[in-house]
Structure 1
């Protein structure tokens, strides 16, 4: 994995943790509207997406038939919050409340799993030559699946900031 991707994963995750560390458990689990997710649910969704990404890459590495390497401008899609993207069932968050430390632990665990998994791939170039269909982005090279993690996370950091404003969190 190249340094830029690694740095982006790290920077985005640090920004996310900064946004939630200062919250109370009540703020973390409050919803500004019944049709919106709480900050806890947004974070749980990010954990589930990271875990699903590992599964998608594993599947893509095993499937020799999927070799579309067409690069996509995924940042345009993922960072444009005017375009709503419905989360697939597999990455829909729990409705049960979470504690701040519990969410941070889940985020840390999913990131450790991702990095440990990526370290098992000896030849990272193979990720550019294989693809798997992404639910929102279509057929996507496996290396772009890794990129979408931090872009997707950035999208949701913006959402968390918006939720905090709507909840009038004063931190």
Structure 2
């Protein structure tokens, strides 16, 4: 796999873990208001997105006539938090509480699965040649599916920082 992508996946996950490591279970599961997710729900959403991305990439790799569509400015779309994106049902988080260790385990397991899956791809050049429809971004080359995982995580790290500030001020 591309070293830059690998580094970005690692660095982004390290930043996420740094943001949530010292939170209590109460802080992890508190919602600033009824219309917002808790930090635990944001993290669970990230776990679900990672799993769904693996499935989408695996499906795209099996497609025979999946032709590459134009590349998108994924970072601009995902990192612009003024542009609200509704999570598809399949990646909506659970409403029940999580404890801190459980959330860390879920995050670690999903990342291990992603890295194992990516390392199992024999010819990574095919990732730029095939595409699959992404629910928020439209037709997306498979290598950009990988890119969107860490960019999406960066987006939600900013959301977690906001939630922490809101909880401090409540």
Counterpart contact for 2:68–2:128, Cα < 8 Å: no
Counterpart contact for 1:69–1:128, Cα < 8 Å: no
Greater mean alpha carbon deviation, residues 59-68 or residues 126-135? 59-68
| Post-superposition CA distance 1:27-49 (Å, at most 9, x none) | 00000010000000000000000
Q: Name 1:39's counterpart in structure 2.
A: 39
Q: Name 2:142's counterpart in structure 1.
A: 142
Counterpart contact for 1:45–1:91, Cα < 8 Å: yes
In structure 1, C-alpha distance between the alignment counterparts of 2:84 and 2:77, rounded to whole Å = 10
| Post-superposition CA distance 1:45-89 (Å, at most 9, x none) | 000000000000011011112212411100000000000000000
Q: Name 1:18's counterpart in structure 2.
A: 18
What SS does the aligned partner of 1:139 have?
strand
In structure 1, C-alpha distance between the alignment counterparts of 2:103 and 2:58, rounded to whole Å = 25
Q: Name 2:8's counterpart in structure 1.
A: 8
User: How many residues are paired up?
Assistant: 169
Greater mean alpha carbon deviation, residues 8-17 or residues 60-69? 60-69
Q: Offset at 1:114?
A: 0.4
Q: Offset at 1:141?
A: 0.2
Counterpart contact for 1:130–1:141, Cα < 8 Å: yes
Q: Name 2:65's counterpart in structure 1.
A: 65
Q: Name 2:116's counterpart in structure 1.
A: 116
Unmatched runs of 5 consecutive residues or more in structure 1: none
Unmatched runs of 5 consecutive residues or more in structure 2: none
- Output the aligned Cα RMSD: 0.8
What SS does the aligned partner of 1:125 have?
helix
1:98-117 to structure 2, matched below 5 A, reads 98-117=98-117
Q: Stretches of 4+ moved more than 4 A in 1?
A: none
